[in-house]
Amino acid sequence: MQNRSAGKTVKRRGIRSLSDPKVVPYVFVAPFIVFFLFVYMYPLIMTVIMSFQQIDGPNHHQFIGLKNYQKLNTRDFQMALQTSGRYALWDVIVLTIVPLLIACILHSGLAKGSGFFKSLFFIPSLTSIIVAGIVFRLAFGTLETATMNRLMTAMGFQPVKWLSYAGPGNFVLILLTLWRWNGVNIVYYLSGLQSIPTDYYEAAQIDGASALQKFFHVTLPCIRPVLIYVITITVLGGFSMFTESVALWQQNNAGGVGRTIVGYMYMVGFKKNNLGLASAVGLTLLVLVVAVNLVQLVLMGFFRKEE
Amino acid sequence: MASNKIDRKKRTVLSVLATALMILVAVFAMVPFAFMFMSSLKPGTEMMRYGLTLRFDPGISSFDNYTALNTYRDGVYWHWYKSSAIIMIMQTGIGLFFGSLVGYGLAMYQFKGRNLIFTLVLVVMMLPFEILLLPMYQMMIRIKMMNTYFGVVIPYLVPPFMIFFFRQYCLGIPRELMEAGRIDGCSDYGIFWRIMVPILIPAFGAMTILSCMNSWNNLLWPMIILQSETKHTIPIGMGTTITPYGNAYDVLMPGAVMAVVPIVVIYLFAQKTFITGLTAGSVKG
Amino acid sequence: MKKLLALFLTVTMVFGLAAALAEDAPVKMTLWTFQELHTELYKTMMEKWNAEADKPKLDIDFQVFPYEDMHNKLTIALQSGEGAPDLVDIEINMFANYLKGDIGLAPMNEYVEPIEDHLVMSRLNNYAKDGKFYGIDHHIGATVMFYNTEILEAAGVDYTTIKTWDDFHAAGKTVLEKTGKPMIVWESADCWSVYPMVNQHGGDWLTPDNQVRMDEQVVIDTLAFMKSMLDDGTAIPCPGGWTHTEEYWGWMNGGNCAAVCMPFWYLDRFTNYMPDLAGKMKVSAMPLWADGGHKSAQMGGTGTAVVASSPNAELAKEFLAYACLTFDGCVTTWKICGFDPILKDVYGSEEMKEPNKFFEYYDQDIFAVLSEVLDDIPDTCLTEYFPAATDIVKTQMAYRLVELREDPEQIAKDCAEELRSQIN
């Protein structure tokens, strides 16, 4: 309780205690600084160093300059880039919009039993992706008798070899991702929607705004912070996706259909035991994700507020 | 009066449409579980024979697979369960504490280096964890954290995604609340504890669920750290039941169903406490 | 400081006690595997070992990990020099990774060399470098043909008359015509079709000094033959992409395909996952190539290895030899795992004829088939770039051949180019 006076005297000179207003913010962020320095800094630097090395065992680290980065100019890696890029694009589109619409409907109270649905939609994200992957893999099997192909034939379409080609394969991946992450994003959006003061809507109502106008002029601006968050993690999740593709294709990767950048890194690092090259792949991925996200954040006006 | 009637009619139609849509989404969300549950009741060979079916066949369906979990490899399944639970609780508790603290600090205060720190948060958040595996592993050996639960938690002590989320959330909180707290004589920490934490409850709710989920399904890192079989978590254990060299569906399916149960319970609790009953009142500007 | 001292004292005491009780206290060891079935073999052999009076007692902690993760873990442990087990199962495709730079595994030469003539050495050569044998396999993995006699009989085909791949193709046409069912599947997502066929034909991906052989005529010819079967429908792409998927097992179990060409140990997959084919399946030798080649090919495998840095490395080696290189160990391997053991002496012995679930399922003298081909199994060339070659086969060669039906020559050339670019 002696902190009280310290909190009040805003303009005291020098640093006297943890309650000094100059110190307070640093106390709040200290855990991250410590964490970053001790847990992340060292491995990160090591990874950067390793990306310039040829590594054959604990005592065989040899600097080879940019050779690892030059080796990224292979068909395999480009296919992985394409796969991840295609997936990330659709991932961001689908996983930003669909959950937002559902969250809005749930929040509007139009649908009966919103609370029930809210709980229900979240449940898929609680399961192990390995097991869910088996279910999806079997449902989208290559055979005509597979569950989805039966449905396709019943609706008058040709059966599809879902997981054998890039396009349909990507579709199944997105569907699996939507199934699993839809509920999570809904929760994010709902937490944003619930913090919008109802009088904003009432004011819009009085101004005679239509439902769509309300959505674009009240809802969207108000949940912008949450929206930015969702897009940022979706971009990250999109580019660094791995588990989902493993769940669908296991470790096989016919035609590069299911191999993502992280999958490639994994294969190079552990299957081919080339940790130097794997580090180079990882750093490329890092640069890619950071770049795309920076563009996205600038476009969303994320940094505007700070000025 | 007339327009009011039309409105009501329109609303009813909309309501029916919305409900129908929600039911559709719900079916999409639940169908894989139905497959999973139905498969868990049948002998593994059935799945080989007929693939996925929702057919209930009283002749061969039973809860035998569930009781088999007790005997599978001397009941190791429940050890996995315990490990997963311990790690989840540790990881979530510590993560929430630090994550909210840092996120709040970044959102509510102006200070030198704020942007730098926030940029670092973003970078760490975007860092694919896999690329740090080897150096991280060497570090864990050096600080003697191998085969310990805490070793599993270390990389998640101050989760950047939580910092980011809490920061975003706090940006929506009016600064006046802080001023009001100061006037009431609260210290900055007091403001955080007594005023902000209650406001942040929905954020805590969302993060609790998310963290539990991440931890419960995390595979790669626990796999590296935990060595003895009895310390394995459920995903590691489940992974050992399906390999190209032998699939134990009899264990996998009931194991997967059982693994969903606790986390669903946590979710339902968290949901009740933090999300459903929430009024936006305290956040009103 | 106090803690350190206490720790030091404890450690000394433990070692002292261990020395004093050396007769009784079992030696603790750790074994990593990705194959639960193997642990049963080791457990049985450990019990037998411990029952023998002159052996120091063992207490092995068997740790089963998912396949990929176990290898990752081992890579990391050997790379960082810490945390490795005493014994470890390493999958054949991964093995070359652990023979780079400083080799972290212990050579088994003193156990292998004295009985060299009794072992199928082409197996152990897979795990060797510079004349040192680092891994011991449990099986030969000789590729054989599994025929569904019910389908063949319906088409009026006698599988024992199929001698060459051309016979096989011709029989396939009859089967397709009479029953509408394909003769065989080719994998589009893995190498279990392409590689054994190329290998049996006399080809391989690499020479021992890493010259790429992927675009040799023998590879092109093999691919062209496979494509000709795809073109007339006698072969189809494997449901699920490869023969280790639930989808394939269910489909095969439903009696939809007349044959599958896989290593000997695949008979265990039939007994486990395709119960409805019991009594209908027959094992036979692979058809032969008209223009030369071998009687079979070896595929798959696990080299069990001793980690060199283990404090009990010598004892671990002795146990490994006991479990995998002795007559009793090899017979036990057959009985528990259904593998074709690498010790030639066991074939024809009474112990191998005792009825078990495998004999029941196939109802034939399985080993007669095996001894037919045992003398002509080609070596495989598992250099450090073999994993890279396998990856190219999985991602490009098999996929482009089976799924996209591209020109075999073009595929072979592209794949060879890709592999060369990765080597240089």
What is the architecture of the domain spanning C2-135+300-361?
A: 3-Layer(aba) Sandwich (3.40)
Say yes or no: A94 contacts chain C, CB-CB below 8 A.
no
Average the pLDDT over A2-21 and give the result: 54
Of the candidates B169, B213, B234, the beta carbon closest to that of A125 is on: B213
For residue A48, CA distances in Å to A68, A77, C229 come to 12, 19, 50
Sign of CA dihedral A152, A158, A160, A165: negative
The CA distance from A81 to the nearest CA of chain B, in Å, is 15
Between residues 22 and 41 of chain C, which touch chain B (CB distance below 8 Å)?
Answer: 30, 34-37
Tell me how far apart the alpha carbons of residues B58 and B198 are, in angstroms, rounded to a whole number. 51
Nearest CA in chain B to A148: B52
Q: Do C387 and A253 touch (CB under 8 A)?
A: no
What mean pLDDT is reported for chain C? 88
**Residue-number span of the structural domain to which A207 is assigned:** 73-306
Decide if A61 is inside a domain.
no
Of the candidates C36, C63, C76, the beta carbon closest to that of B134 is on: C76
Say yes or no: A73 contacts chain B, CB-CB below 8 A.
no
Between residues 37 and 76 of chain A, which touch chain C (CB distance below 8 Å)?
Answer: 55-60, 71, 74-76
Of the candidates B25, B168, B280, the beta carbon closest to that of A225 is on: B168
User: Residue A1's pLDDT band (boundaries 50, 70, 90)?
Assistant: very low
A103 and A157 fall within a common domain: yes
Three-state secondary structure of chain A: CCHHHHHHCCCCCCCCCCCCCCCHHHHHHHHHHHHHHHHHHHHHHHHHHHCCEEECCCCCEEECCCHHHHCCCCHHHHHHHHHHHHHHHHHHHHHHHHHHHHHHHHHHCCCCCHHHHHHHHHHHHHCCHHHHHHHHHHHCCCCCCCHHHHHHHHCCCCCCCHHHCHHHHHHHHHHHHHHHHHHHHHHHHHHHHCCCCHHHHHHHHHCCCCHHHHHHHHHHHHCHHHHHHHHHHHHHHHHCCCHHHHHHHCCCCHHHCCCCHHHHHHHHHHHCCCHHHHHHHHHHHHHHHHHHHHHHHHHCCCCHHHC
pLDDT in tens, chain C (424 residues): 455 555 555 555 555 455 445 556 789 999 999 888 888 899 999 999 999 888 899 999 888 888 877 888 888 888 777 788 999 999 988 888 888 878 889 999 999 999 999 998 888 988 998 899 999 998 988 999 999 999 999 999 999 999 999 999 999 999 999 999 999 999 998 899 999 999 999 999 999 889 999 999 999 999 999 999 999 999 999 998 889 888 898 899 999 999 999 999 898 889 888 889 999 999 999 999 998 889 999 888 899 999 999 999 999 999 999 999 999 999 999 988 888 899 988 888 888 888 888 888 888 888 888 888 888 888 888 888 888 898 899 888 999 999 999 999 999 999 999 899 888 7
Whether the predicted pLDDT of B39 surpasses 90: no
Q: Do C188 and A163 touch (CB under 8 A)?
A: no
The CA distance from B74 to the nearest CA of chain A, in Å, is 23
Q: Do C68 and A267 touch (CB under 8 A)?
A: no
Say yes or no: A70 contacts chain B, CB-CB below 8 A.
no
Q: Residue C355 contacts by C-beta under 8 Å, 6 or more apart in sequence?
A: none
Say yes or no: B129 contacts chain C, CB-CB below 8 A.
no
Residues of C in contact with B141 (CB under 8 A): 80, 82-83
Chains that touch A (3 or more CB pairs under 8 A): B, C
Q: Residue B70 contacts by C-beta under 8 Å, 6 or more apart in sequence?
A: B77, B78
Q: What's the confidence (pLDDT) of residue A162? A: 87
pLDDT in tens, B144-165: 888 899 999 999 999 998 998 8
Between residues 145 and 184 of chain B, which touch chain A (CB distance below 8 Å)?
Answer: 154-155, 157-158, 160-161, 163-165, 168-169, 171-172, 182
A104 and A174 fall within a common domain: yes
Nearest CA in chain B to A133: B32
Q: What share of chain C is helix, strand, coil (3-state, %, to 5)?
A: 50, 15, 35
Residues of A in contact with C190 (CB under 8 A): 252
User: What kind of fold does domain B72-283 have according to CATH?
Assistant: MetI-like fold (1.10.3720)
- What phi and psi values does residue C281 have, to the nearest 5 degrees? -85, 140
Say yes or no: C348 contacts chain B, CB-CB below 8 A.
no
Whether the predicted pLDDT of A6 surpasses 50: no
Instruction: Report the C-alpha dihedral over residues A205, A210, A211, A216, rounded to 10 degrees.
Output: -100
Sign of CA dihedral C192, C194, C197, C200: negative
Contact at 8 Å (CB) between C309 and C79? no
Residues of A in contact with B161 (CB under 8 A): 233
User: Residue A10's pLDDT band (boundaries 50, 70, 90)?
Assistant: very low
- DSSP secondary structure letters along A204-217: HHHTT--HHHHIII
Say yes or no: A144 contacts chain C, CB-CB below 8 A.
no
Decide if A67 is inside a domain.
no
Radius of gyration of chain C (CA): 23
Decide if A63 is inside a domain.
no
Say yes or no: A149 contacts chain B, CB-CB below 8 A.
no
A113 and A189 fall within a common domain: yes
The CA distance from C398 to the nearest CA of chain B, in Å, is 19
Residues of C in contact with A275 (CB under 8 A): 79
Q: Residue C369 contacts by C-beta under 8 Å, 6 or more apart in sequence?
A: C144, C283, C284, C285
Say yes or no: B227 contacts chain C, CB-CB below 8 A.
yes
Residues of C in contact with A71 (CB under 8 A): 422
Q: Residue C283 contacts by C-beta under 8 Å, 6 or more apart in sequence?
A: C144, C145, C146, C147, C264, C267, C362, C364, C366, C369
Residues of B in contact with C238 (CB under 8 A): none
Residue C279's closest CA among C148, C144, C85?
Answer: C148
Whether the predicted pLDDT of A9 surpasses 50: no
| Reported ipTM exceeds the 0.85 cut | no
The CA distance from A54 to the nearest CA of chain C, in Å, is 11
Contact at 8 Å (CB) between C197 and C222? yes
Tell me how far apart the alpha carbons of residues B197 and B16 are, in angstroms, rounded to a whole number. 38
Q: Do C73 and B247 touch (CB under 8 A)?
A: no
Contact at 8 Å (CB) between C49 and C322? yes
Best of B39, B130, B245, B253 to disrupt the C interface (most C CBs within 10 Å) is: B245
Tell me how far apart the alpha carbons of residues C135 and C119 are, in angstroms, rounded to a whole number. 13
Residue A101's closest CA among A203, A206, A223, A205?
Answer: A223
Coil, helix or strand at residue C252: helix
Could you tell me the residue ranges of all domains in chain B? 2-62, 72-283
Q: Do B283 and A197 touch (CB under 8 A)?
A: yes
Between residues 61 and 120 of chain B, which touch chain C (CB distance below 8 Å)?
Answer: none
Decide if A136 is inside a domain.
yes
Helix (H) or strand (E) holding B153: helix B149-153
Say yes or no: B54 contacts chain A, CB-CB below 8 A.
no
Q: What's the confidence (pLDDT) of residue A132? A: 83
Average the pLDDT over B256-272 and give the result: 77
* CATH number where A245 lies: 1.10.3720.10
What is the architecture of the domain spanning C143-298+377-423?
A: 3-Layer(aba) Sandwich (3.40)
Of the two residues A265 and A90, the one the predictor is more confident about is A90
Contact at 8 Å (CB) between B44 and C244? no
Tell me how far apart the alpha carbons of residues C25 and C57 are, in angstroms, rounded to a whole number. 7
Q: Do C73 and B223 touch (CB under 8 A)?
A: yes
Of the two residues C4 and B182, the one the predictor is more confident about is B182
CB atoms within 10 A of CB C375: 11
Structure pTM?
Answer: 0.81
Q: Do C247 and A259 touch (CB under 8 A)?
A: no
CB pairs under 8 A between A and C: 107
Of the candidates B33, B117, B172, the beta carbon closest to that of A29 is on: B117
Q: Residue C253 contacts by C-beta under 8 Å, 6 or more apart in sequence?
A: B48, B49, C273, C274, C275, C276, C277
A104 and A46 fall within a common domain: no
Q: Do A254 and C71 touch (CB under 8 A)?
A: no
Q: What's the confidence (pLDDT) of residue C23? A: 54
Tell me how far apart the alpha carbons of residues A303 and A261 are, in angstroms, rounded to a whole number. 29
Sign of CA dihedral A235, A237, A240, A244: negative
Of the candidates C30, C66, C72, the beta carbon closest to that of B243 is on: C66
Residues of C in contact with B134 (CB under 8 A): 76, 79-80
- In chain C, which segments carry CATH 3.40.190.10? 2-135+300-361, 143-298+377-423
Of the candidates C101, C247, C387, the beta carbon closest to that of A57 is on: C101
For chain B, how far is it from start to end, CA to CA, in angstroms?
Answer: 35
Chains that touch C (3 or more CB pairs under 8 A): A, B
Q: What's the confidence (pLDDT) of residue B280? A: 31
Best of C31, C36, C94, C361 to disrupt the B interface (most B CBs within 10 Å) is: C36
Say yes or no: B36 contacts chain A, CB-CB below 8 A.
yes
pLDDT in tens, A168-208: 999 999 999 999 999 888 888 887 888 788 888 888 888 88
CB pairs under 8 A between B and C: 81
Contact at 8 Å (CB) between A220 and A103? no
Q: Do C246 and B247 touch (CB under 8 A)?
A: yes
Count: domains in chain A: 2
Of the candidates C68, C101, C245, the beta carbon closest to that of A251 is on: C68
A83 and A18 fall within a common domain: no
Q: Do C276 and B49 touch (CB under 8 A)?
A: yes
The C-alpha angle B100, B101, B105, rounded to 5 degrees, equals: 110
Average the pLDDT over A286-294 and give the result: 87
Cross-strand partners of C31: C62, C87
The CA distance from B138 to the nearest CA of chain C, in Å, is 6
CA A9 to chain centroid, in Å, comes to 43
pLDDT in tens, C192-222: 999 999 999 999 999 988 999 999 999 999 9
Of the two residues C26 and B91, the one the predictor is more confident about is B91
Best of B8, B22, B283 to disrupt the A interface (most A CBs within 10 Å) is: B22
Contact at 8 Å (CB) between A159 and A201? no
Structure tokens at C152: 């063949």
Contact at 8 Å (CB) between C109 and C315? no
Tell me how far apart the alpha carbons of residues A294 and A303 are, in angstroms, rounded to a whole number. 10
User: Residue B4's pLDDT band (boundaries 50, 70, 90)?
Assistant: low
Q: What's the confidence (pLDDT) of residue B285? A: 26
Tell me how far apart the alpha carbons of residues C218 and C294 are, in angstroms, rounded to a whole number. 13
Burial A58-78 (b: 16+ CB within 10 A, else e): eeebeeeeeebeebbeeebbe
Q: What's the confidence (pLDDT) of residue C6? A: 57
